[in-house]
Amino acid sequence: MQLESNIVKNAKVSPSLLGHRLTDPIRGIAYPHRNEYDYLTGYIKNFCSSGTEPRMIALAGLRGVGKTTLMWQLAKYTYQNLSKNIFHFNVNILSSNGISLFELMETFQTEVLNCRFNEYSEPIFLLFDEVHDDENWQKTLKIIYDECRTAFVIATGSSALLINQSADLASRMKINRIYPFNFTEYVKAKTVFENQKLCAPENLSANLIESLFYSEDYNQLKANFIKFNLEQKILNYQNQLKSIFIKNITEIIREYVIYRNIPRYSLYFKTSDIDQSVLELVKRIIYEDVVKVNPKYTGLQFEKLMYRLSASDEINLDKLSQALGLKKEDIEYALDAFDKAELLNIINPNSNSIDALLTKNKKAFFMSPSVRIALLSAIYGDNIPDSARSKIWEDIVMMYLSRIVSKSMISFSADKSSVNPDFIIETRDCPIVVEVGTKKTTTKQLSKYRQKTRYGILINAGATEIEFNDKNQTLILPMSWFLMI
């Protein structure tokens, strides 16, 4: 009881605590804001001014993407602008000491609020880090939400566990997925630590998304690039980038895609240390998060499954079942859990494909290409086959696509009688097709796809200039341009 009492009495957020959490200890530089910061502070402002919902938000995502830092940044905004009535609880520490979150909230009401939650009348902000470490977290958060109508709650946790929540809590809690860095976020963070700050041009991402994925047809796609002055904006940004780093854009992009897209590793010096840490991250997700959802699984065979997936993308349940000695339903469970844990992005074959009815194969892309590279390095050392290494470009494109449109709108073609693009994106009344490559310059792969489409996009990691192919109704887009989304 004394430990519980000490925890609740020291839970109030202070300026010194905020400074400690949000400043690099060596350089004394404040961590930059993620793109999600502005709309999340909007929820807090609206709650304070009008009492609007949502008033319980969860920050969910891959370990290391910066959920806890973002939570503290939201706390700092609240402290400086709206309220100093903020309390923080690390649920991992509670669990390690055998203290349940429910018990601690009972002590908190008695010794700090001096009343029950349903009697408290002032705005209060409650921060719960690693909330999933308490086995009854859902019940406790539901009680807080229902009983304390003046509370705004921010919780961080594993995607695999937060998404597997009860229907009752799902109607109360808004889950906000926090992804790995996009390229411009990485550049902003990197330049901040170089005592400069390079941000993407205003509205560039929105204008690119509108042009690439929502143009009515190929002619409008071309017109939008002119209308939004996209070429000049991107070239100006890239020139600024080169002047800061004195590097080839291709070098900067490869560094980002392979090693620096997860915020936790943006300041690591040795890439071998990143590989090792990423492997530990994967193990924690498998053995702590995925297994916790369904304790009947041990995790070892699921770890082997991840290694097999790293060298390919198509999922053949029959072959995997035979190779791993797992039932197909167990593999399907694991894949679904990895998808929910934000470790993988899994897509289905396109329903309009003739052969989609004959195959149950899916495709798996890694949420972070760094995870695929770490797994491949453990298998092949420094001799990763080009065919396996090239998959990182599809991973990064899929990571971007999953932010832009629902994964239910992204598929691949399983039509054996046709040339098949990497992605089919079903926006508007007719889909677009996307191909990804490192040295591809021909658009035949897209033009020969036999289904009706609006236009095609070839994202080329080796290209430096944009090219419109009127004959094939296809845009050849440098990867460096695509990553500006």
Q: List Cβ neighbours of 312 (8 Å cut-off, separation of 6 or more).
A: 388, 391
pLDDT at residue number 357: 46
Q: Between β-strands 151-158 and 174-177, what pairing exists: parallel, antiparallel or unpaired?
A: unpaired
**Joined tokens for residue 181:** 């860095």
CATH class label, 2-178: alpha beta
Q: Which candidate, 233, 257, 266, places its Cα nearest to that of 483?
A: 257
pLDDT at residue number 333: 87
Is 70 exceeded by the pLDDT of residue 440?
Answer: no
More confident residue, 167 or 142: 142
pLDDT at residue number 163: 63
More confident residue, 438 or 148: 148
pLDDT at residue number 411: 95
Which run of H or E residues covers position 175?
A: strand 174-177
Q: Boundaries of CATH 3.40.50.300 in the chain? A: 2-178
The stretch 383-394 carries a mean pLDDT of: 93
Is 70 exceeded by the pLDDT of residue 61?
Answer: yes
pLDDT in tens, 112-126: 999 999 999 999 999
What span, in angstroms and rounded, lies between the C-alpha atoms of 5 and 217?
A: 64
Is 80 exceeded by the pLDDT of residue 415?
Answer: no
pLDDT in tens, 3-55: 999 999 999 999 999 999 999 888 889 999 999 999 999 999 999 999 999 99
pLDDT in tens, 317-329: 999 999 998 889 8
Q: Which candidate, 421, 373, 429, 375, places its Cα nearest to that of 396?
A: 373
- pLDDT band at residue 140 under the 50/70/90 scheme: very high
pLDDT at residue number 295: 66
Q: Residue 291 burial by CB count (10 A; 0-12/13-18/19+): exposed, middle or buried? A: middle
pTM of this structure: 0.92
pLDDT at residue number 75: 98
